[in-house]
Structure 1
Amino acid sequence: MARIAVIGAGMASLAAAARLATGGHRVVVHERTATHGGGVGRVERDGFAFDTGPGLLPLPAVQRDLFVKTGRETLEQSVGLTQADPAARHVFADGTVLTLPNASRSGVMEALDGALGAGSGERWSAVMLRTREVWEATRRPLLEDAVSAATARLREDPYPAVGRRGLLRRTARARSLAEAGARELRDPRLAALLESYPLAYGLDPRTAPASAAVLAYVEQTFGVWYVAGGLRALADAVYARCLARKVEFRFGAEVTGVLEKDGRAAGVELADGSTAEADAVVAGAPLPALHRDGVLPGDEWPAWGPTRPPGVLTVHLALRGGRPVDAVHRTVVHPADRDRALAWTFGTGGPADAVPEVTVLRPDDPALRPDAEHEAVTVRMAVPPQGAGGLDWTAPGAADAVAERAVTAAQAAVPSLWERELWRIVRTPADTERETGAPGGSVPAPSLAGADGALLRSPNTTALPGLYRVGGWAHPGGGLAHAGMSGAIVADLIAGGPGGSR
């Protein structure tokens, strides 16, 4: 039985801890804050409750595997889990409204033809069929297995080359997701739909590889799910599973360094001057700040180029009046000026008054509201991280001005929103940075093929034997499913396996 020190109590760390403890190891989790869950948090006030992280769960098979491998109760026995249907409603700049069913290829095609015109569904389906090749080529090396030679080969985009139309036809690969959408979908609204999936993960469609279309394919193939009580209820269930497996938690315990002995990780150093010895260390946080000698190979920040990935601004709204029966859980409101919005979000020269794409979440969940005469709504949008271009989200009025633009856009999804509002809570990347330690409050995206490897993440192993990485800053990247898989990969590596869930 080995002693394992886990740094952080985010979702990836919890997944690793539960699996390692089930394997017979003594696991101690050191968390600098007072609670578990990392970015999957909760805000409560006056009988209202809101998720601070994602509102829907993709690829629930990852969580099902975690619960099956660590105890008797399944995921469905531990939380209430239902498909979100419809999966989303999209409101485009020209006023077109598109409602997409959950996990139904034929239903999506029918909805697209009905809202955007005949032939729209067929063009979208053709892109998804090509994207299936991306999924088949990347599923194991970019999600299920540890970093290997197969992962390294994915520096090249596997999205199929498509012949261009015209007199001089030739076959060429799209240089970006935006180029693929414009060339193959031939409708700005369809292209905006495709771009909305990577945008939800903080990826710029103008620079993201065409392989980023796999994010749309995964959602439309496997569906999205809602956890009763919000995604925080899932974090609570995983935490409870850790406790059942005798994982020890030490909250308010900030780790400041990694101990070394005989060329191996030998424990952690804490802010209070104490140490905790261990046979292996699992870090669910960016490692440079934890290593006394500076940056370890492969830990350079940021790993994506000269700018940090964006963060998320959320506006939690307490509304008077019940949730209408025709409301949908998620509505995406597309911007009137896509170029201005992207330029501001990704720091390429956009005006400060740009209004990016917003996502409006309206869960039909009695646990999140004081009674049936009120509604809890969250508005989310990708925004520049704290400090980007001198932006200070803590400056007076900075957050409120952007939040007002987000709420104004959200009126397209929730009519009479201003008239119904009781109060709001605004959260910015500065809050994310303070609560999770993520530099600038950036939110990591999943690992993706292409872009010459710019979106591949650091391996779960490190240059220091006995020190492992989990979480969004490590392979296989950000997102709940990827966080769960990083925990599975590291637990298997520590057990002597090749890395993965077995």
Structure 2
Amino acid sequence: MIGAGMGAMTAAARLAVAGHRVVVHERARTYGGALGRVERDGFGFDTGPSLLHLPAVYRDLFVKTGKQPLEDCVELSQVEPAVRHVFADGTAADLPNVSRAGVGESLDSALGAGSGARWAAFMNRAREAWDRARRPLLEEPLWPNWQVLADREPYPAVAQKRLLRRERRAATLAEVAEFELGGEPRLTALLEHFALVRGLDPRTAPASAAVLPYLEQTFGTWSARGGMRALATAVYERCRARRVEFAFGSDVVRIVAKDGRATGVELADGTLVDADFVVAGVAPGALDAMLSGTAARTHGDVPPQSGLPSRLTVLLALRGARPEGTAHRTVLHTTDRADELDRVFGTPGARGSTGAARPAPDGSPGLPAAPTLTVLRPDDPTSTPDAEHEAVTLTAVVPAGAEVTDADVRRLIARAAAVVPGLDDRLLWQEVRTPAHVAEATGAEGGAVPAPALAAAAGQHLHPANSTAVAGLYAVGGWAHPGGGLPHAGMSGTLTAGLIVEGPEFRGSQ
């Protein structure tokens, strides 16, 4: 096993239970991949995903690999409200967790009567898309004839009154907002946010991206005491309990292949390690480098996604208690949608479906002037030295490879002050995690973050299969099917383990 990310550890635990001896080689000094944590002066911050959606993925892992259920190993809590949205005009809406009716009431109250009904009608169609796409996209290995998924749009057509009630099929998420939500700017921002935070351009993301808000609002938003790093620790400890071996600081530089089959790996110190199977939980560029010219993918297979953005994260240690009633997560929407999308994703049509991201005046990848900002203020005593302090995390989607300046960071903090009163006076210290830090931690070029797999759009949003053209070599994690995101990583590990244990006839759990 190459890498100790969540997908790889999920696969490792399942393979160990099936009777395999599993050795994980991780070049870093710890496990968890993107689920890192910074601890300083009694403060604790997640540096990757900090909320969990679709916890059933990890509940299933713990049921299948031991007697202790997930909740005995990680203290999970539903976040309430699930999120507070602050729109460009200053309007705020608190959306409750796992309550379709409550979301509708909140939207009616904040945005005007009828807003909730429009959103509910959209969610009904999103449910249809979820029912059609869930199994082939998430619960089964990628079909050999994956072009069927590329051509099939699971989101249903929408009746348009202005077209004499003819049905018209939305091609993109932005068109879904236009057709279903009437182009209302705040509802549009709400919908498009689900794509943006996952590194997807709503102007080009297929309509099937509607499954993203459906997934979150149907299955809930969960936090963990100790942050999502606690989930990584629980999965690591489950692996250890199943006698998975970990070698940290063990850098794999080459995958050894003989007669077209992977037979082991070579470490940086020249050590050769034999293996019946090799599972790689690394970014596409790192995998290609390890193969020394051997093609991992068959001709015509799904290519790795490219042009994906990165994340800028600012960790803030504050004096003063977290106020009562503070939302765990607040989304502060951009005041300039066009600038944000052009700077992060480029101008559609300039080169294929998406052009190069608009640069800053000095020619470097430019950050949006007023990016959509996710502000996390967890009610978790493990995140602060005492009740008289608060830990706040700011996250914005930025171009991969972006050079982050002190002015950029100050601008993010100034924006956050709109939803964290007294921020400047309360600030003790800050730490910044740039795309360069993401690249160093994950090996992804420019610090790009993988997006979840989506159907339609000619397969541009699918990910390469877990099996490869090299027999005995498998790919796992966010850069392989079914793509990025914490639940998807667990699904990737489940599918990879199934392919190894049951062979190519494996079709997923029934």
Q: TM-score range by the shorter chain?
A: over 0.9
Could you tell me how far apart the structure 1 residues matched to 2:249 and 2:328 are?
Answer: 35
Deviation at 1:296, TM superposition (A): 2.4
* Structure-2 residue corresponding to 1:380: 395
1:488/1:499 contact within 8 Å kept: no
Letter in 1 for 2:383: L
1:19/1:488 contact within 8 Å kept: yes
Deviation at 1:190, TM superposition (A): 0.3
* Structure-2 residue corresponding to 1:445: 451
**Aligned ranges 1:99-114 → 2 under 5 Å:** 99-114=94-109
Q: SS of the residue aligned with 2:254?
A: strand
2:302/2:459 contact within 8 Å kept: no
* Structure-1 residue corresponding to 2:172: 176
* Deviation readout 1:252-287 (Å, 9 max, x if unpaired): 111111111233110111111111100000010122
* Structure-2 residue corresponding to 1:260: 257
* Structure-1 residue corresponding to 2:119: 124
Could you tell me how far apart the structure 1 residues matched to 2:15 and 2:507 are?
Answer: 13
Does 2:307 align with 1:308? Answer: yes
Deviation at 1:350, TM superposition (A): 6.4
Could you tell me how far apart the structure 1 residues matched to 2:477 and 2:383 are?
Answer: 28
1:329/1:362 contact within 8 Å kept: yes
Q: SS of the residue aligned with 1:7?
A: coil
Among all aligned residue pairs of Structure 1 and Structure 2, give the percentage whose two residues are the same amino acid.
58
* Deviation readout 1:3-53 (Å, 9 max, x if unpaired): xxx000001011000111111110000000100000000011111010011
Letter in 2 for 1:44: E
Q: SS of the residue aligned with 1:26?
A: coil
2:374/2:394 contact within 8 Å kept: yes
In structure 1, list runs of 5 or more residues that go unmatched.
1-5
1:42/1:51 contact within 8 Å kept: yes
Does 2:508 align with 1:500? Answer: yes
* Deviation readout 1:458-496 (Å, 9 max, x if unpaired): 011000110001001100000111100111111111111
1:310/1:385 contact within 8 Å kept: yes
Deviation at 1:294, TM superposition (A): 4.5
* Structure-1 residue corresponding to 2:186: 189
Deviation at 1:295, TM superposition (A): 4.1
Does 2:270 align with 1:273? Answer: yes
* Structure-2 residue corresponding to 1:67: 62
Does 2:43 align with 1:48? Answer: yes
Within the candidate set 203, 214, 218, 1:217 is matched to 214
Deviation at 1:191, TM superposition (A): 0.6
Letter in 1 for 2:269: D
2:147/2:458 contact within 8 Å kept: no
Does 2:142 align with 1:133? Answer: no
Deviation at 1:438, TM superposition (A): 1.4
1:340/1:350 contact within 8 Å kept: no
Does 2:343 align with 1:344? Answer: yes
* Structure-2 residue corresponding to 1:3: none
Closer/same/farther in 2, CA of residues 474 and 131 from structure 1, 3 Å limit = same
* Structure-1 residue corresponding to 2:12: 17
Could you tell me how far apart the structure 2 residues matched to 1:150 and 1:66 are?
Answer: 28
Letter in 2 for 1:196: H
* Structure-2 residue corresponding to 1:235: 232
Closer/same/farther in 2, CA of residues 142 and 28 from structure 1, 3 Å limit = same
Q: SS of the residue aligned with 2:297?
A: coil
* Structure-2 residue corresponding to 1:404: 410
2:260/2:470 contact within 8 Å kept: yes
Closer/same/farther in 2, CA of residues 333 and 314 from structure 1, 3 Å limit = same
Could you tell me how far apart the structure 1 residues matched to 2:72 and 2:507 are?
Answer: 27
Could you tell me how far apart the structure 1 residues matched to 2:245 and 2:304 are?
Answer: 32
Letter in 2 for 1:345: V
Could you tell me how far apart the structure 1 residues matched to 2:307 and 2:405 are?
Answer: 19
Within the candidate set 456, 463, 476, 1:470 is matched to 476
* Structure-1 residue corresponding to 2:296: 296
1:109/1:122 contact within 8 Å kept: yes
Letter in 2 for 1:163: A
* Structure-2 residue corresponding to 1:82: 77
Could you tell me how far apart the structure 2 residues matched to 1:325 and 1:448 are?
Answer: 39
Letter in 1 for 2:54: L
Could you tell me how far apart the structure 2 residues matched to 1:474 and 1:303 are?
Answer: 8
* Structure-1 residue corresponding to 2:158: 162
1:161/1:172 contact within 8 Å kept: yes
Q: Which moves more between the two structures, 262-271 or 451-460?
A: 262-271
RMSD between aligned alpha carbons?
1.6
Letter in 2 for 1:407: I
Deviation at 1:418, TM superposition (A): 1.4
Deviation at 1:175, TM superposition (A): 2.2
Deviation at 1:434, TM superposition (A): 0.6
* Deviation readout 1:107-142 (Å, 9 max, x if unpaired): 111111111101001110111111111101111111
Deviation at 1:220, TM superposition (A): 0.5
Q: SS of the residue aligned with 2:311?
A: strand
* Structure-2 residue corresponding to 1:26: 21
TM-score of the two chains, using structure 2 as the length reference = 0.92
Could you tell me how far apart the structure 2 residues matched to 1:466 and 1:319 are?
Answer: 50
Q: Which moves more between the two structures, 480-489 or 399-408?
A: 399-408
Could you tell me how far apart the structure 2 residues matched to 1:92 and 1:132 are?
Answer: 25
Closer/same/farther in 2, CA of residues 302 and 151 from structure 1, 3 Å limit = closer
Letter in 1 for 2:358: G
Within the candidate set 478, 482, 494, 1:488 is matched to 494
Q: SS of the residue aligned with 1:292?
A: coil
* Deviation readout 1:62-109 (Å, 9 max, x if unpaired): 000000111111000001011111100000010100000001011111
TM-score of the two chains, using structure 1 as the length reference = 0.94
Letter in 2 for 1:174: A
Letter in 1 for 2:189: A
Could you tell me how far apart the structure 2 residues matched to 1:127 and 1:117 are?
Answer: 17
Deviation at 1:298, TM superposition (A): 5.5
Q: SS of the residue aligned with 2:420?
A: coil
Deviation at 1:500, TM superposition (A): 2.9
Could you tell me how far apart the structure 1 residues matched to 2:5 and 2:475 are?
Answer: 12
Could you tell me how far apart the structure 2 residues matched to 1:94 and 1:425 are?
Answer: 30
**Aligned ranges 1:408-423 → 2 under 5 Å:** 408-423=414-429
Could you tell me how far apart the structure 2 residues matched to 1:161 and 1:149 are?
Answer: 27
Q: Which moves more between the two structures, 18-27 or 345-354?
A: 345-354
Deviation at 1:170, TM superposition (A): 2.8
1:195/1:205 contact within 8 Å kept: yes
Q: SS of the residue aligned with 2:502?
A: coil
